[in-house]
Amino acid sequence: MASIAACYVPNGVAPLFGSKEAVASSPCTSSVMNKLPLGLGSSGKSRLCVKNGEKCRNSLCHVVMSAEVSTKEKAVQAGKAPKEVPKDSLLTPRFYTTDFDEMEQLFSKDFNKNLNEAEFEALLAEFRADYNQTHFVRNAEFKAAAEKLQGPLRQIFVEFLERSCTAEFSGFLLYKELGRRLKKTNPVVAEIFTLMSRDEARHAGFLNKGLADFNLALDLGFLTKARKYTFFKPKFIFYATYLSEKIGYWRYITIYRHLKANPDYQLYPIFKYFENWCQDENRHGDFFSALLKAQPQFLNDWKAKLWSRFFCLSVYVTMYLNDCQRTAFYEGIGLKTKEFDMHVIIETNRTTGRIFPAVLDVENPIFKERLDHLVELNENLAAISKSTVPVAFKNLQRIPVISAMISELLALYFMPPVESGSLDYVDFEPQVVY
């Protein structure tokens, strides 16, 4: 999940729109980097990574190939193919950083009289119980399933694992740093953050072991240092992270239920773990719900309504565009990408409406029509990027497409919203939604 020393977004669903970017010297990197938990598989010592036994000095290279060398890789090494490096884009999972001093003030009992200690104590007891302590245990099925996955689907699975691992790891960084920084101000909230970082480390480590089935590993230590960090103010972290956790929950549980009903599409056993896994994300979301309740100024005025809608739009659009670029993955496991996404968006929006003061009218058919138009425009942009025309001409071609995207986003944002949210109602939010 995306951070603010690193904020987390499960499954790569980072908000599309960030504020200013900070470079890798985010506060989290120094303190967390030397303490990466077991199982995260970081080399962590320098910006070097190893490709097929050779050190690679490319600052964007972050996947370590341990044994297999693809045809493309051989061609690159032989100088016969252009070297491609992963590029960050608006849709890439991000790491975030925040104003920790303001965060400390928000959770200081001297400054904030709305902190409900009994509720946080109860949540802490839940996290200490550590229901998934023994859940993430691998078996022989993994390697065998990975070996069966060949051709384009293999590459798509690798990308899924890589993006998910990055997103979970970014959550680990954020929560770890918040746990460290809030220790003196509010030890209960701090311990919850630390225990959430435990969960995210587990998730990232499990995904990284999945990559090992494909003879790959993400160099998370390198990633921590090399990635840019997007700065969000604390209140934006609350909105974005709450949404990320809840949308992560709905994605995982929807995939789990679908594959349980259609076992022929169970191509890789990691999905069998999603039922318990998504309960971690649900608990994380409930914690952010409690945090928001403790900061009523973020929920009870017209600005809160505008920001709530903004973050809903940002998270939903990012997921939709991302997933529509990867339909082969969803179709590979028997899902219809757009139907899956709309189900996740509608359920997340209903859940979010319990706490956010306003949400989008995602069940209005016009909402999906506009999303689909954005997908077309995004495909046009991709086609322009791939074309061989001169750069200046490409830039000219992009102008009308980007203008149309902006106007579509504004139209989505200004659709009549659904008034929602009730601080009382949240008390009745079930712990387990399914």
Per the structure block, which two tokens stand in for 1? 């999940």
**In the complex, minimum distance from the CB of residue 279 to Fe ion, in angstroms, rounded to a whole number:** 10
* Strand residue runs (E) in 78-210: 95-97
Give least dist CB 53 to Fe ion, A: 32
Q: Least Å distance between CB 190 and Fe ion?
A: 17
Among 281, 286, 347, 408, binds Fe ion (CB under 5 A): 281
Both tokens of 179, joined, read 């746990």
Stretch that binds Fe ion, among 53-61, 122-130, 161-169, 387-395 (CB under 5 A): 161-169
x/- track of binding to Fe ion for residues 167-206 (CB under 5 A)? -x-------------------------------x--x---
Supply the minimum distance, in Å, between the C-beta of residue 12 and Fe ion. Answer: 11
Task: Tell the smallest beta-carbon distance from residue 75 to Fe ion (Å).
Answer: 36
Among 94, 284, 305, 309, binds Fe ion (CB under 5 A): 284
d(CA 24, CA 6): 10
Q: Tell me the residue type at 150.
A: Q
In eight-state DSSP terms, residue 182 is: T
Q: Would you call 385 exposed, middle or buried from its count of C-beta atoms within 10 A (0-12, 13-18, 19+)?
A: exposed
Please, what is the minimum distance in Å from the beta carbon of residue 19 to Fe ion?
22
Q: Give the residue among 43, 165, 174, 184 at the shortest CA–CA distance from 96.
A: 174
- CA pair distance 345, 364, nearest whole angstrom: 12
**Nearer of residues 200 and 213 to Fe ion, judged by Cβ:** 200
DSSP, res 26: -
Residue number, 198 or 203, with CB nearest to Fe ion: 203
- Nearer to Fe ion by Cβ, of 218 and 405: the residue is 218
CA-to-CA distance for 210 and 104, rounded, in angstroms?
Answer: 37
Stretch that binds Fe ion, among 273-281, 297-305, 347-355, 419-427 (CB under 5 A): 273-281
Alpha helix segments (H runs only) across 231-334: 234-261, 274-293, 302-324, 327-332
Q: Which is nearer to Fe ion, 149 or 190 (CB)?
A: 190
| Under 8 Å between Cβ of 278 and 253 | yes
Q: How far is the CB of 241 from Fe ion (least distance, A)?
A: 8
286 contacts Fe ion (rule: CB under 5 A): no
Binding site for Fe ion (CB under 5 A): 10, 168, 200, 203, 245, 281, 284
